[in-house]
Amino acid sequence: MTSNPELSKSPNEASTEPNSKERVFNVDNVNVYYGSYLAVRDVTMDIYANEVSALIGPSGCGKSTILRCFNRLNDLIAGAKVEGKITYRGKDLYAKKVDPVELRRNIGMIFQKPNPFPKSIYENIAFGARINGYQGDMDDLVEKSLKQAALWEEVKDKLKESGLSLSGGQQQRLCIARGIAIQPDVLLMDEPCSSLDPLSTLRIEELIAELKKQYTIVIVTHNMQQASRVSDRTAFFNARAIEAGKQGYLVEYDSTKTIFSNPAEEATKQYITGAFG
């Protein structure tokens, strides 16, 4: 496979100047269709490097759909179509010459339900590195990734055991370790704590705060307190009922502080105060 150097932005370069607001994603007037059904419309937002951007809103508002545009996971759904323009570090994400497989190595994803592979803990992490042609020492990489995901101390003596033998919170941290083992630029998180207990959630949130020093993070969450705790910027999506179901749209995108203290839109205010959703 020919590698596209402009897509392969290493996270270390980004972390050298943590204060500059480097733009990672630019979403410009994006509509997402499933077949002829317009699921999300009119989304315009910028995602900046080494920040946590949270996407919040009621169910059906399209926040997960937008998240899955960033690593082109919607490509897997027959009939899914993205209109408008999304750029990743200045390059059109949906240009013909962009190979989604190559792109996904740079943009990792953590799912709602922990989905470790039915393999050993070690193999769970080694898999991504191996398929992407990692040349370095695998043992080191596994250890480093598990340490970054704050899981090393709990599993260092049982790396040969199944990833499924871990608790839910540990499984999710294993999935994070798996995601960062391939040294991506961005981490997408799709409600990573929704199936976890409060203590595990707290650990993941601490981890997110740690990880943003190195990675750019976009997180979808149902939990507004979580968004206010972990994120730098928050996008509020809302949904309106149409004939085919629900149609999501972006209401407001601003710094988390503004969204939670002084939102511009009435709907945002109602949502964050718990009046609906």
The CB-of-43 to another protein minimum distance in angstroms stands at 21
Determine, following the binding rule CB under 8 A, whether residue 207 of this chain makes contact with another protein.
no
Q: How far is 260 from 133, CA to CA, in rounded Å? A: 44
Residues in the chain, total:
277
Q: How far is 236 from 33, CA to CA, in rounded Å? A: 20
* CB nearer another protein, residue 71 or residue 268: 71
Alpha-carbon distance values, 157 to 72, 149, 169, 215, 238 (Å) = 37, 16, 18, 28, 46
Site map (CB under 8 A) of another protein, residues 86-105, x = contact? ---------------xxxxx
* CB nearer another protein, residue 15 or residue 132: 132
* CB nearer another protein, residue 98 or residue 164: 164
- Which uninterrupted H or E stretch holds 42? strand 37-48
Question: Number of residues in contact with another protein, rule: CB under 8 A?
Answer: 32
The CB-of-233 to another protein minimum distance in angstroms stands at 23
Site map (CB under 8 A) of another protein, residues 112-151, x = contact? -x-xxxxxx------xx--xx-------------------
Q: In which residue are the tokens 């964050």 written?
A: 272
Q: How far is 49 from 168, CA to CA, in rounded Å? A: 29
Q: How far is 130 from 169, CA to CA, in rounded Å? A: 25
* CB nearer another protein, residue 50 or residue 172: 172
Q: In the range 159-188, which residues lie near another protein by CB under 8 A?
A: 161-165, 175, 178-179, 182
CA dihedral 98, 70, 21, 185 (to 10 degrees): -70
Q: How far is 192 from 204, CA to CA, in rounded Å? A: 8
Give the interface with another protein as residue ranges (CB under 8 A): 71, 73, 76, 78, 101-105, 108-109, 111, 113, 115-120, 127-128, 131-132, 161-165, 175, 178-179, 182
